[in-house]
């Protein structure tokens, strides 16, 4: 099983462990934390270190779209 987070049709993160990509996806969409911690995560981690940009992201499992979300502008 391969999980991926894609943005603009390109794979930004992928894994076969079954849990890290869904967790990252939830982090990016603000489901695991909010407020200042979420803003800092987006600004410094998602945009600064992981290579994402503000906009739509997609979570795929074995090539099938599971969910979509959005990374806000910082």
Q: What is the pLDDT of residues 1-49, one digit of tens each?
A: 999 999 999 999 999 999 999 999 999 999 998 999 999 999 999 999 9
At residue 10, the pLDDT reads: 96
Question: Where residue 74 falls among pLDDT bands split at 50, 70, 90?
Answer: confident
At residue 14, the pLDDT reads: 97
Dihedral of CA atoms 56, 61, 63, 68 in degrees, nearest 10, equals -20
CA angle (61, 17, 55) in 5-degree steps: 50
């Amino acid at each position: 099983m391969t999980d991926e987070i894609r943005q603009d049709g390109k794979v930004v993160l992928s894994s076969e462990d079954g849990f890290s990509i869904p967790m990252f996806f939830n982090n990016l969409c603000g489901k695991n934390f909010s407020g200042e911690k979420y803003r800092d995560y987006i600004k410094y981690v998602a945009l600064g270190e992981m290579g994402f940009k503000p906009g739509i992201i997609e979570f795929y499992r074995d090539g099938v779209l599971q969910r979509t979300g959005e990374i806000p502008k910082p």
